[in-house]
Amino acid sequence: MELHVLNHPLVEHKLTVLRDKNTSSATFRELVSELVMLEAYEATRDLDVVDKPIETPVAPMIGNHIAEPRPIIVPILRAGLGMLDGMTKMIPSAEVGFLGMKRDEEHPTQQITYANRLPEDLSGRQCFLIDPMLATGGTLVAATHYLAERGAKDVTAVCIIAAPEGIKFVQESIDPSIDFKVVVCAVDEKLNDKCYIVPGLGDAGDRLYGVVD
C-alpha cells in the first residue's frame, strides 16, 4: 500500500475551517470539494494517458490524452457523495459508479453493503474510491475488495482524514495483488472508544447533509 499525505498550507488552512464545529453545512460542502480537487492532483499522478496528435494555433504537436477505458470514480454512500463534485471537476471524462456501505456498529471493522451501481467488469479500469473518513479502515478494505471481485487491479482511495489504526488495518488487510494507493489531507491522533477519529471533524455525512435518523 502506498500512502500519500498532502503537506500544503492551503490544505492545512481549509482543513482547519472544515474541522471547526461552527462551520456551516454550506461552507463545509464547499471546502470538501476544494480539498478533493487539491487531492485529485496527487491521486491522478499515475493516470494512464496515450499520445494524441493535435494542432495548436502555431504548430502541430503530440499531446497526452486520458486513455481508454476511462477511469471510474466510486463514492461510498452517503458521505462520499460530498466529494464527487470535486473529483468530476478534475476528471470530467471519468465514469461514476456508486457503492453503499455502512459500518456494523456492533462490529466496527465489518461492513454492510446496501447499494451497488457499478459495471460488472472493471478489468483494466483505474478506480478512485472516495470517502471522507478513513477511521477503522473496514469500509475501505471491503469496498476495495468489492471492486477487485469485478476485476479492478488499480485502486486509489481519496479520503480527507485518516486514523493511524485505520491505516494499519488497511495495510494489513488489503489483497497485495491490488495496486492500491491512499491519498489523505491529514492523519489524525487516534480513534476514540466509539471508533470516531480524534480530533476529527465529526460525522462527515451529517455535516454535509444533516442528521438522518
* Spatial separation of the C-alpha atoms in residues 78 and 86, rounded to whole Å: 15
Coil/strand/helix, residue 209: helix
Q: Residue 197 annotated as binding? A: yes
Q: Residue 138 annotated as binding? A: yes
Q: Residue 157 annotated as binding? A: no
The answer, yes or no, to whether the previous bond of 108 is cis (omega within 30 of 0) is no
Q: Residue 176 annotated as binding? A: no
Looking at 91-151, list the stretches that DSSP marks H as alpha helix, in order from N- to C-terminal side.
138-148
Q: Residue 133 annotated as binding? A: yes
- Asked if 208 and 29 touch (Cβ cutoff 8 Å), the reply is yes
Q: Residue 134 annotated as binding? A: yes
Q: Residue 143 annotated as binding? A: no
Query: Helix crossing, 9-19 with 25-43: angle to 10°?
Result: 150
Q: Residue 204 annotated as binding? A: yes
From first CA to last CA, the distance across the chain in angstroms is: 36
Q: Residue 61 annotated as binding? A: no
Q: Residue 78 annotated as binding? A: yes
C-alpha cell at 171: 495495510
Q: Residue 207 annotated as binding? A: no
Q: Residue 56 annotated as binding? A: no
Q: Residue 203 annotated as binding? A: yes
| Sequence-distant (≥ 6) Cβ neighbours of residue 151 within 8 angstroms | 121, 122, 123, 124, 125
| Sequence-distant (≥ 6) Cβ neighbours of residue 8 within 8 angstroms | 38
Residues in binding site for 5-phospho-alpha-D-ribose 1-diphosphate: 78, 103, 131-139, 203
Residues in binding site: 78, 103, 131-139, 197, 202-204
Residues in binding site for uracil: 197, 202-204
